[in-house]
Structure 1
Amino acid sequence: MQPAYMDLIEQLRQQIDEKRIITDPTLTLAYGTDASFYRLLPQLVLQLDTLDEVIFAIKTCYERQIPVTFRAAGTSLSGQAQSDSVLITLTRRWRDYKVLNDGAQIWLQPGIIGAEANTILAPFGRKIGPDPGSINSCKIGGIVANNASGMCCGTSQNSYRTIAGMTVVLADGTLLNTLDIDSVAAFKKTHAKMISELMLLVSECQGNRVLADKIRHKYRLKNTTGYSLNSLVDFDDPIDVLQHLFIGSEGTLGFIADVTYNTVINHAFKASGLFVFADIEQTCLAVSQLSKTRVAAVELMDSRSLASVAEKPGMPAFIAQLGAAGNTEAAALLIEIHAEDEHDLGRQAEGLQQIINVFAPIEQVNFSRDATVCDQLWGIRKELFPAVGAVRESGTTVIIEDVAFPIEQLAPAVRDLQILFTQFNYTEAIIFGHALAGNLHFVFTQAFDTQLEIERYSAFMDAVAQLVAVDYQGSLKAEHGTGRNMAPFIELEWGHDGYLLMLAIKGIFDTRGILNPGVIINADKHAHIKNLKAMPVADELIDKCVECGFCEPVCPSRNLSLTPRQRNTVFREISRLRRSNEDPARLASMEKTYRYYGLDTCAATGLCAERCPVNINTGDLVRKLRQNHTEKAKKIASWTGEHFATVTASAKAGLTVASKMHNVLGTNRMRKLTQKAYQLSGHKIPQWTPHMPLPAAKIIAPVINGITKERVVYFPSCSARNMGVEAQAQDKRSLAEVTISLLEKAGYEVLLPANLNNLCCGMPYTSKGFPETAQVKAQQLEQALWLSSQQGHYPILMDTSPCASTSKQHLRKELTIYEPFKFVADFVLPRLDITPQQAPVMLHITCTSRRQGLAAVIERVTKSCAQHVIIPDDITCCGFAGDKGFTKPELNASALAPLKSQVLENCSEGYSNSRTCEIGLSEHSGIEYRSILYLVDKVSHRHNG
């Protein structure tokens, strides 16, 4: 590391925790990765906790003239979140918000995810204006800094149009709150020169009629190429000009510390329809007419787009038939309409249908309000990117460009783009986009592993730039931001005068050129083909990863170690180094770091696959890599499987010993002693907590009296058989006792499998990388359940969701297996009278339940038993992950860090459906969590009569 960075780090340590100053090359690689096809390696990554830290870091870098880049979620596609110097990221503390004026406005910190802001606003019938396709992952800081838009947003509801105010930090560390009179007044005094220079630009721009007209013309379209020059013709107040220049500035003018949005109506009444036309000309003519109506969204999909998803499940049959009939010209419009009431919605649909009929659709799905139909239709649009990503060759990357054309020229523009695809041999490329704004995305695959491929890409982009910016006077970037990708083409699009304005703006705000250099303003005409990201083959389980980051918000280790995207990135580099043998020392260092950050702290929940556009489950890779055991370890695993009852009895005995030690030592000394033992044992001895369960009581098999009743097979999980309740439990009964009591109350005879104590679903062995032993245990369980259920005749209840999920995946016989919530919903609640309790309860939806699509069922069951149910924000998986809550408690603590603050003062109970998860939830909430079966048993009684 260069001396300048060493000195910088020493100064930063004065106010920033050293743990949040990252210099390890493995971690800087991981944390420096974004969704673009560029790769720069930061010298250091700062994870900043407060506004004071941000100001201090920026001022320190400013004084030393060291470049700094800000990064939000890293879903950006054009390289604007890349740095080879200092990369600033934010901790989870930047997620505060305030709803203002009954939802008419909302104040947001930059760490809030876009979709979370809309969830906050939902009770008010409002939402933020921008609706980018990555809204479930991208953060407010990035949405504003890129002026992201989306399908329904257009140009009227983006950040530029809906901003009410913001707080920014300039390059010299100055803080400005544009909504604070005193802050503005002070700023005008201390930065009079900046104000004067800005107003001179405004005067010159408004006085240059040709340039002013060009700016207005360009912003009729979606346009994020360069700075928001429209602020110079739209506003006369310097603070208005300043804050609107910050929108879309991609971190090159300063740091956005918070924003206040004017929100927009989130209409309750919506409908969608799909209409296929004979060719692109008819399709675009229809768009022109639709643009004159109140339609909310019109998504165009060209013939190649339709062909790419024709065979996907859930697609309308006519899509595949188009290709079979040789119709290679067809294009489609997916249309959404919004209204304030059902009558207005119906009237809109009728009027639009009349317009559409003029252009003779060859196939259609009429406007529908049915949620299932609408989801299927939008599923077509959402499948387009995965369709290209899934078929690309290993080692290539998926590139998504977005441009905008004048809407009246949309048809010939699409034709010309398709000609370029053929000319440059991008045969897989597809076109789709937000047609109302003339905004087209095109997706293609590209390798950067040879000079020939780089030259092909460069020539193609030159041709695209000429076509869009010159021939059609369109926008080279409509909503994805300029970044490094289009920086070399700004002058081509805006002309010399426009480019000089851009240079002047950058010079006014960033006199020393330290803020995100190379982004937006870049004198290197070849910057877009430098620092290209290699995508080397690593493992077929993750080779399709496009590093988009959509997986990150649901990863329990995201604030502790690595996310799925980052695990994939680092493993790709490890694999490349192993093959090339170019740097053995670096390889050894990366493998060592990856062991903890990549493998040991991965919960392997599989939630990442639910968010991944190409269905990658990084947990599968982690489990595979964990299989690298010695023969001795494999033999030990096999022995434990063969003597499972003995092993679990030992675990039960350990709980007994721990309980007795606690009685003698007391809580404080017990915690200190076990923490020491945990450390000295290399994390092999579990770390005790006050919520550690007591040993479970022996399960007594219910008596089958021969009376004809419906029967259910109950399989108590390993954890339920061995772990009882915690010492301070409100209900001292074990989970098995409660389960049997509830089932009998509902009128069922309960059957237990034979040889119960030796049975296991195999999940503990799978997660630790012993698939052979896991398979043996799964087969044993399958046979036992097959016999006890009378060859699948009786339903089977498993009291822990991970066991039920694992068994459903791996058992081959036709067995009907339920986890607690689903079984209660289908079989128990209909047989009982329920009196919902008034006391509030916390609810945790486990990751396995989410993957099974049970979240709605779980919420419904809990709300039938309690009047006030709290589902905490920002928690998807608790991170306990089997036994990792004992062996890697920091993972559990990190995943549940937001929990305790969300527990109401008068709330003393929480519920879930996984015994081990409940231990961690109790530890980090301060209240007791237990199975939902306890709550159902507490508030229910048999039907009268």
Structure 2
Amino acid sequence: MKRKSYTDALTTLAKGTDAGLYRLIPERVEIVNSEEEVQEILAECRVIGKPLTFKAGGTSLSGQTITDSVLVEIGPDFGKIKISEDGRSATFPCGITGDHANRLLKRYGRKLGPSPASIKSARISGIVANNASGSSYGITYNSYHTVRSMRLILTDGTLLDTASAESRRYFVESHPEWVDGLLALRERVKQNPEMEARIRHKYELKNTCGYGVNSLVDYDDPVDILMHLMIGSEGTLGFISEVTFETVPDLKLKASALLYFPSIREACQSILPLRECSVSAAELMDRNALRAVENEPGMPETLRTLPDEAVALLIDTSANDKQTLQKQFAEIEEKLSSVHTLYPVSFTTDPELYATYWRVRSGLFTSAAAGRPRGTVSIIEDIAFRGDVLGDALTDVREVLARHHYPDAVMWGHLLDGNVHFTIFPDVNRSEGVEGYAAFMQELTDTVLRHDGSLKAEHGTGRNMAPFVRQEWGDDIYLLMKDIKKLLDPQNLLNPGVLINDDPQVFIKNLKRMPLANDLIDRCIECGFCEVQCPARNLTITPRQRIVIYRTLSAMAERGETDTPRYAGLKKAFQYKGNETCATDGLCGTACPVGINTGLLIKELRWKENGKAAERIASFIAKDMDSVTNVLRPMLSFVHGVSKVIGYGTMEGITRGLFRISGHRFPLWTRYTPSGARKLDYTTETPLPGQPEMVYFPSCITRTMGPSADYDDKAGVTEKTISLLHKAGFAIRYPENIHRLCCGMAFSSKGFRRQAKEKEDELNEALLKISDNGALPILCDMSPCLLHMRETLDKRLHLYEPVEFIYDFMLDRLEFSPLPITVAVHSTCSTTKMGVTAKLQALAGMCAAKVVSPMEVTCCGWAGDRGFFYPELNASALRMLPTSLEEATEGYSNSRTCEIGLTMNSGISYKSIVYLVDKVTRKKEEL
């Protein structure tokens, strides 16, 4: 496969963005999917003396993964996963997320030691390169202490596998100057007892400020020293391509207690006693933090009544049996008996309440960032102190924040470690805001170091703290760090200016501006958490990147630069990469810390771009839906009829040609495109005495689209649904004028707002009438349509998609005889957003011996009819599907259009879940 390289304005700007507070635009972006490609780029850059920077998930907060030179981004196909039989050892490639790794380890009752808040988006190489830790108590489970081996590529292109005796031997023989240099650095520390003691002392706390010089006192072998120097090196010493971890237990039973203290000092008094207990986390939340979430749904009422100085501590403990868990409760309560709390200590094992407590904790940054002043940046600082000074230190830090006009800063963190985060929102669009931030950072540094703390506990040094590394470590150890960089990267090619930087002003240079662009996206902090959910992430650009480009275009327009070549180029490129290949599925909003659905922005753009001709066509379709579907049904069937005569391969060749010649205007037709559905007589049924009634609204899609060539059952979704409902004993009501009705989603996704509203109102009136104003449950056979109905129709209506209706109303009316087969299920975007995924998997599990639900697949990218015109989006979104199906021979979902793309890209036939349930059930005899 040819290496992907980009120099265009849109891609370099979009991919040059990370979660930090700086903006640099790379000259070019290279996407790498193999060690060989990394070695090629390194060789090219060495020859021309061009610096390069590595980027994984782009969730770094301190400016680690940006550059104005060559950016090397890890692609989606990098490496393979290997897990030992007991799960205690696991090898992961650089490009998968920590969350993906943990989902694979869950079946073994294991997990990764490091657990950063960004774990759903942060990738393995980034987690290790920043020495991530997270809420797990202590440094025992951070990256440094749980990495057992790695494959790494050095600046001269050498590949070193630290798990291979042969590779280690080759490195020692081929790099004597590096081996001798590493041993000389180690000896330099050993010959200076004061330096060695200082290093050991500093790493008793979490510390990611500067290089991990503890490797020089912890290890004797030069390869082990080098490997551990790579951890926390932020891509400045080499490229980490694969990591083997010693995993840690993921105990089954979990419990938590939310404790409230009168002040932060008194909360800090609980830390030393808690360290003597079996506690897996103790998460601090100050009053500003609690105030940020107290009005969110499901939050405890207590939050709103706390005193102004109160703080909370979320204590977590876990075990594999109830008896042990109870002992741990008693021990914690006894140890805290002398500490003043506002309410008694009370643990819960209730899953819902446990989740609520952690929702309080996880919602802090979300709510604080969402409520920041518009146009400001969100900066998260990360410090650590020893337990005996923690109360005084945090009190002093709070005073520094107030003195520099950040009184509303939200403070939270991992208090067992003395590790605290806080977020501030300076306005870096103004010089006064930048100057104020600079003054604050200097006083913060002085305050932290006066209490012998860590300036960076787990977020990495980056550009943000690089000017202060010498101040924390002193001249001797700082020079030691500079010599490490000089030894292993003599040309200063790798991520220059990060971690080591003698420019005292670098932390306030190239600051990222946050221009106001649109209310829908102004709260975006560009963290990148949304990217893992985007079906276009490996094809064009992601939600974060769409926002970056949109903000840039808006700022250029504001400055009167719309007639410049750069503006024209960005706008033209954005049309395809930002607009046409956006599925507008809204899954990005479920992963976004501040709930931004970038799809809504794209829908707004489509609405603004719709011309008068398009509006007239949309109005015609909306007003005469019956006629349109009457035309489409025979057309769809006709193409299948011709295909049976001339052959499906020939017909697909013809339609592919038409698709290409038309420039994506003629829809791509394949054998998996549905034939026309039979037009049924939807007459409301008269119930028998005692027979339950319900309302069935077949979507306009299923009323139009029937089976495709891969179906072994020639009944359409509507016919199969009616069959299943009758089998379960229901009398069915249908809304009046059903052939005219549509939920409006198809119009809404294309930006036809007026037509969408007309169809929504029309359907709303019909459903209220036929359901007796919501007295009867209503089934719609398309999950995406059902979600749109829930979002737009009268809240009196009780609306269900197929999985929910079957699960909630039909299980006790059917007898299941599961088949000895493996089936795959796909949770559509709407299924995921409605929280129905677990029910889908459980329902399939009642029908088949084994159920596969590929974790690598999120949105399928079909996006209504977009798969007909941009099939590359669908193919890219489902690129991992074929290899994730295991031995599945059948696939099921709950969206007819999504099932087209799933079938096209999987090798198995996908149908509505109603087909599977109908196949394995019969009516209960007693009904």
- TM-score normalized by the length of structure 2: 0.98
> Shift of residue 908 of structure 1?
2.5
> Shift of residue 294 of structure 1?
2.4
Match of 1:140 in 2: 124
d(CA) in 2 for partners of 1:575, 1:154? 45
Amino acid at match of 2:621: T
d(CA) in 2 for partners of 1:451, 1:931? 58
Counterpart check, 1:167 vs 2:151: yes
Match of 2:628 in 1: 647
Alpha-carbon contact 2:696-2:733 (below 8 Å) kept: yes
Counterpart check, 1:28 vs 2:9: no
Counterpart check, 1:589 vs 2:589: no
Match of 2:273 in 1: 289
d(CA) in 2 for partners of 1:442, 1:346? 34
Deviation digits for residues 74-123 of structure 1 (CA, Å, limit 9, x no counterpart): 01100000011111112211262111251110011011110111111111
d(CA) in 2 for partners of 1:90, 1:802? 33
**Relative to structure 1, is the Cα distance of residues 424 and 738 closer, same or farther in structure 2, using a 3 angstrom cutoff?**
same
Deviation digits for residues 665-707 of structure 1 (CA, Å, limit 9, x no counterpart): 3233222211121122231211011211111112133673552
d(CA) in 2 for partners of 1:284, 1:933? 56
Match of 1:563 in 2: 542
After TM superposition, list the pairs within 5 Å mapping 1:462-473 onto structure 2. 462-469=442-449, 471-473=450-452
Alpha-carbon contact 1:274-1:364 (below 8 Å) kept: no
After TM superposition, list the pairs within 5 Å mapping 1:763-774 onto structure 2. 763-774=745-756
> Shift of residue 365 of structure 1?
6.0
d(CA) in 2 for partners of 1:438, 1:460? 21
Match of 2:174 in 1: 190
Counterpart check, 1:387 vs 2:377: no
Counterpart check, 1:536 vs 2:511: no
> Shift of residue 133 of structure 1?
0.8
**Relative to structure 1, is the Cα distance of residues 637 and 95 closer, same or farther in structure 2, using a 3 angstrom cutoff?**
farther
After TM superposition, list the pairs within 5 Å mapping 1:363-762 onto structure 2. 363=343, 366-469=346-449, 471-582=450-561, 584-628=564-608, 629-701=610-682, 704-708=685-689, 709-762=691-744
SS in 1 for 2:148: strand
Counterpart check, 1:791 vs 2:773: yes
Q: Which of 140, 151, 162 lines up with 1:178 in the alignment?
A: 162
Counterpart check, 1:314 vs 2:298: yes
Match of 1:270 in 2: 254
The farther-off stretch of 763-772 and 777-786 is: 777-786
d(CA) in 2 for partners of 1:644, 1:270? 53
Alpha-carbon contact 1:659-1:694 (below 8 Å) kept: yes
The farther-off stretch of 495-504 and 150-159 is: 150-159
Alignment RMSD, CA only? 1.3
Alpha-carbon contact 1:205-1:211 (below 8 Å) kept: yes
The farther-off stretch of 357-366 and 454-463 is: 357-366
Alpha-carbon contact 1:78-1:484 (below 8 Å) kept: yes
Match of 2:883 in 1: 901
Counterpart check, 1:333 vs 2:335: no
Q: Which of 338, 343, 348 lines up with 2:328 in the alignment?
A: 348
SS in 1 for 2:396: helix
> Shift of residue 821 of structure 1?
0.2
Alpha-carbon contact 1:388-1:444 (below 8 Å) kept: no
Counterpart check, 1:925 vs 2:906: yes
The farther-off stretch of 223-232 and 714-723 is: 714-723
Alpha-carbon contact 1:129-1:153 (below 8 Å) kept: no
Alpha-carbon contact 1:37-1:78 (below 8 Å) kept: yes
Q: Which of 780, 789, 792 lines up with 2:762 in the alignment?
A: 780
Deviation digits for residues 202-244 of structure 1 (CA, Å, limit 9, x no counterpart): 0111111111010011000000001000000011111110100
Q: Which of 208, 216, 219 lines up with 1:224 in the alignment?
A: 208
Match of 1:942 in 2: 923
Amino acid at match of 2:165: I
In structure 1, list runs of 5 or more residues that go unmatched: 1-14
SS in 2 for 1:383: helix
Counterpart check, 1:120 vs 2:104: yes
Match of 1:842 in 2: 824
SS in 1 for 2:652: helix
> Shift of residue 16 of structure 1?
3.9
**Relative to structure 1, is the Cα distance of residues 147 and 250 closer, same or farther in structure 2, using a 3 angstrom cutoff?**
same
d(CA) in 1 for partners of 2:25, 2:204? 38
Deviation digits for residues 114-155 of structure 1 (CA, Å, limit 9, x no counterpart): 011111111111111101111111110100000011001530
d(CA) in 1 for partners of 2:561, 2:607? 26
d(CA) in 1 for partners of 2:364, 2:345? 19
d(CA) in 1 for partners of 2:739, 2:692? 25
Alpha-carbon contact 1:428-1:445 (below 8 Å) kept: no
d(CA) in 2 for partners of 1:340, 1:808? 40
- TM-score normalized by the length of structure 1: 0.96
d(CA) in 2 for partners of 1:657, 1:525? 73
**Relative to structure 1, is the Cα distance of residues 30 and 521 closer, same or farther in structure 2, using a 3 angstrom cutoff?**
same
After TM superposition, list the pairs within 5 Å mapping 1:9-158 onto structure 2. 16-17=2-3, 20-94=4-78, 96-158=80-142
d(CA) in 1 for partners of 2:264, 2:625? 65
After TM superposition, list the pairs within 5 Å mapping 1:869-908 onto structure 2. 869-905=851-887, 907-908=888-889
d(CA) in 2 for partners of 1:167, 1:545? 36
> Shift of residue 649 of structure 1?
2.1
Deviation digits for residues 136-182 of structure 1 (CA, Å, limit 9, x no counterpart): 11110100000011001530111110111000001111100001111
Alpha-carbon contact 1:656-1:694 (below 8 Å) kept: yes
Deviation digits for residues 407-443 of structure 1 (CA, Å, limit 9, x no counterpart): 2111011111111111110122021111111111011
Alpha-carbon contact 1:388-1:428 (below 8 Å) kept: no
Amino acid at match of 2:337: N
Amino acid at match of 1:440: V
In structure 2, list runs of 5 or more residues that go unmatched: none
d(CA) in 2 for partners of 1:307, 1:850? 29
Deviation digits for residues 493-544 of structure 1 (CA, Å, limit 9, x no counterpart): 0000011111110011101000001101112111000010000001000000
d(CA) in 1 for partners of 2:818, 2:637? 36
The farther-off stretch of 580-589 and 914-923 is: 580-589
d(CA) in 1 for partners of 2:448, 2:709? 70
d(CA) in 2 for partners of 1:528, 1:829? 61
Match of 1:6 in 2: none
Match of 1:7 in 2: none
Alpha-carbon contact 1:131-1:153 (below 8 Å) kept: no
The farther-off stretch of 544-553 and 723-732 is: 723-732
SS in 2 for 1:687: coil
Amino acid at match of 1:866: A
Alpha-carbon contact 2:54-2:239 (below 8 Å) kept: yes
SS in 1 for 2:538: coil
The farther-off stretch of 782-791 and 476-485 is: 782-791
The farther-off stretch of 60-69 and 627-636 is: 627-636
d(CA) in 1 for partners of 2:630, 2:763? 18
Deviation digits for residues 820-865 of structure 1 (CA, Å, limit 9, x no counterpart): 0000001111101101111111100110011011111111111111
d(CA) in 1 for partners of 2:345, 2:648? 65
SS in 2 for 1:337: strand
SS in 2 for 1:925: coil
Alpha-carbon contact 2:862-2:898 (below 8 Å) kept: yes
Counterpart check, 1:257 vs 2:241: yes
The number of aligned residues is 923
d(CA) in 1 for partners of 2:59, 2:710? 45
d(CA) in 2 for partners of 1:736, 1:771? 28
Alpha-carbon contact 1:61-1:67 (below 8 Å) kept: yes
d(CA) in 1 for partners of 2:113, 2:688? 63
d(CA) in 1 for partners of 2:63, 2:178? 28
**Relative to structure 1, is the Cα distance of residues 548 and 706 closer, same or farther in structure 2, using a 3 angstrom cutoff?**
closer
d(CA) in 2 for partners of 1:902, 1:433? 37
Match of 2:219 in 1: 235
